[in-house]
Structure 1
Amino acid sequence: MKVIQSLNTFILLVLILFTAYLRYLTDFFDENSAFLDSLLASLVVILFAYIVNSVLGNFILRRVSTARDRYTLRKTVSILITVIAFASFFAIWIERTSTLIIAYGILSAGIAIALQDLLRSIAGGILIITSDPFKAGDRIQVGDNIGDVLDIGNFSTKLMEIKEFGNSDQYTGRIIQLPNSFVLNQPIKNYTRDFSFIWDEIRIMLIYGSNWKKAQDIILKITSPIVKEFEPEQKKNSCGWETNTS
């Protein structure tokens, strides 16, 4: 990979030097000096863009840990550098200012349309960091997706899915990856933040004529030792929540 990068850089340098030689050290192309100037400037832009892309790509490889984020960031950087290079070509080859402004407008509109999902994910990631609607370890629901937050990346959020095959709070073993843009247009239900307990039901079916009082006593006898250890904390949280919201 490094050999190919060095070879490409060498070829671009040779082309730049050859074009500069034709422009400034020979008299064969005096009539086309403007063309050679534009060509030389374009080659310099290509070389600069190639070097910047290589440097930023190597920096991302060293600094970003996950393969998906590395791929996305490198793609984004490559696209942005390409767009800037094309904008520079417009400035080099198009002389009329009005035409250049129109070209920039069309180019900007195309970028906004082509990268709208990516830009929305970036904006969503920034919103998650600044507003902190949830954090790693929280149990959240987004639409029909319920799970525990495993990781909050630059572009997406990973959930460990629960409740897909039934009403129990068991993990299904599947990972849900949501683009961060969901914070812009979907409600987020956080089951963990601010209050540690949520309302849940366990339905026990009894036939007609059953002794429901005896069933109630049996259930309370079984559950009381388990629930008893959570009661003080639940009451404390309830009082604190009522105080904070009053």
Structure 2
Amino acid sequence: MVGKYLETLYSMGEKALQALIIIVIGYVVYKIFDKLFTKFIEKSSQDEIVLNFFKTIIKTVFIVIIAIMALSQLGINTSSILAIFTAASAAFALAIKDSLASFFDGIIILLAKPFSKGDLIEVVGVTGRIQEISLLYTNLLTLDNKKIVIPNSQLAHSTLVNYSSEEIRRVDLNFDVIMGSDTELVKKVIMEEALSNPYCLHDIPPFVNMTEYKDSALTFTLRVWAATENYETLRCSLLENMNKRFNEEGIELAYTTYDIHLSK
């Protein structure tokens, strides 16, 4: 009786040891694969954010396979477990259908590639740089360093503006000057400031012209091009420098005035 008990205990211990060996070997194999895949990501011309997404999926598959093999080694009927797991998965899928939709929308986003890691985008009223696409969510970092988490389903079905997809962007500025201003002088000053700005691309000539009559002002429009990373720098420097030049040249900017009539 004792011998049979010890034999059973020994058999169980042997199976547990074999299951442990499977887990250890599986873990080592995964770590080797993970290391190789990480090197592939570093050297690959593919977008890092796409490769990391599939890396997460592969990790999940590895865990499931190793778990099934270890349970099978312990003598557990994995076919029954798989049948129960399949039925549970179907019920679970109905309960989390929105999350599953986000998962598949994430795959669609990765295949369509509307953006890359680090791109500045605007979507659902939020502007930020892409940090990561996970299985269910996309993480953005706003310009003031706030993390925004957006469901992939919402991202996939919304209009998206990518400010980083092109190498150059156009800066549009309007200047309202008072009626009676010397139009040629105004255009000359604006053009000089645009051409002298180091962030302005000269391959595409700046556009300067009077574009509108207002009630008490003349509107002059400036359109210049800049490298995408210099967009804000060019815009701000033009506004600052233009104000100085207008003051130096005696060009008065228009502002809204009101005539108030008092009556008894």
TMscore range, shorter length:
0.3 to 0.5
TM (norm. structure 2) is 0.43
**Structure 1 or 2: more helix by fraction:** 1
**Structure 1 or 2: more strand by fraction:** 2
**Radius of gyration: which is bigger?**
2
Larger RCO (CA under 8 A, 6+ residues apart): 2
